[in-house]
Amino acid sequence: MIKLIATDIDGTIIIPEKTFTEHVRDCIKELCEKGIKVVLVTGRMHAAASLIAKDLGLDTPVVSYQGGLIKHNNETLYEKCLTKEQAEKIINWAKEEKIHLNLYNDDILYSEQKCYEIERYCNNLHTHYEVKQFCDVDKIKVNKLLAIDYNNPERIDLYEKELPTIFPELYIVKSTPYFLEFSNKEASKYCAVQFLQNYWGISRSETLTIGDQNNDIALLKAGGIKIAMGNATEELKQLADDITDTVQNDGFVKAMQKYCFENAIL
């Protein structure tokens, strides 16, 4: 019996650059009514992810920053940040590579300049940012750093393969074809779901995990039932126990029909 559903947001329950469908909203409501805990597990910042949880009527902890922060209402249950030294090392690398970098510090998004990358990013995710030189940011609580290259995603692929050997102390993962994320080693979706399993006394076999991108590899590994979206990366599909339909075709809802409901919703 499934007691916990840990789901990614973008590309899983939300259509890219759009929102979730009414089918997804109704499905999540019915899951909650059945007593199943539905938890959003995302790379988004907490301020943005918590708004989605509220819109969906969820009253469960929200996992943000790839697993680096778990908050329930105003209470922090789990938090793993980058050190100031680690953050500055990544900032210097980004400057040498001439790649745009987002800095998240204490749940505030900073960019050193107003540019195409930050504007597109924030417009798509309906997120706000502040323009500030990173050297002037008090890097006491760095949630993560995000490198963005919309024009040359091949560069992101290359960095994903090369950088773990250069920064072995960090958790580095590609969250979209254009995004490469840097965070604490214990700031993964696997670590976060495992924390919640222990917190609630729920086993892995009672957990369903579902996602679509490479950063969801860690998420799926925490589940007894591992579901990849139809629009998922090939790497994620290879790991999954099952592959559902695409996000555009309510693949999340169809997966829940199969594993959590006796009667179809659609």
| Structure confidence by residue, pLDDT tens digits, 147-167 | 999 999 999 999 999 999 999
- C-alpha 105/C-alpha 111 separation (Å) is 11
The whole-model pTM stands at 0.92
At 219, which CATH number?
Answer: 3.40.50.1000
Residue 264 counted as domain residue: no
Q: Are residues 90 and 55 in the same domain?
A: no
In a domain, 265, yes or no: no
Residue 211 pLDDT:
98
Q: Can you tell me the distance from the alpha carbon of 140 to that of 229, in angstroms, rounded to the nearest whole number?
A: 37
Q: Are residues 193 and 161 in the same domain?
A: no
Number of domains present in the structure of the chain: 2
DSSP string, 97-165: HT-EEEEEETTEEEESS--HHHHHHHHHHT---EE--GGGS-TTSEEEEEEE-SS-HHHHHHHHHHHHH
Q: Give CA separation, 41 vs 53, 95, 128, 131, 242, in Å.
A: 10, 30, 20, 27, 19
CATH of residue 108: 3.30.1240.10
Angle value at C-alpha 107, between 102 and 113, nearest 5 degrees:
30
- Rounded CA-CA distance 108/65 in Å is 12
Domain-terminating residue out of 184, 215, 242: 184
Verify that 232 and 199 share a domain, yes or no.
yes
Helix residue ranges, H only, the chain: 22-33, 46-55, 84-97, 116-125, 153-166, 189-200, 217-221, 234-239, 251-259
Q: Does the pLDDT at position 262 exceed 70?
A: no
For the segment 86-137, what is each residue's pLDDT rounded down to a tens digit?
999 999 999 999 999 999 999 999 999 999 999 999 998 889 999 999 999 9
pLDDT surpasses 90 at 171: yes
Q: Which of 128, 149, 184 is the last residue of a domain?
A: 184
Which of 141, 158, 184 lies at the terminal end of a domain, its last residue? 184
Task: Write out pLDDT tens, residues 59-82.
Answer: 999 999 999 999 999 899 999 999
Report which DSSP code applies to 174: E
Instruction: Please indicate, yes or no, whether residues 140 and 214 belong to a single structural domain of this protein.
Output: no
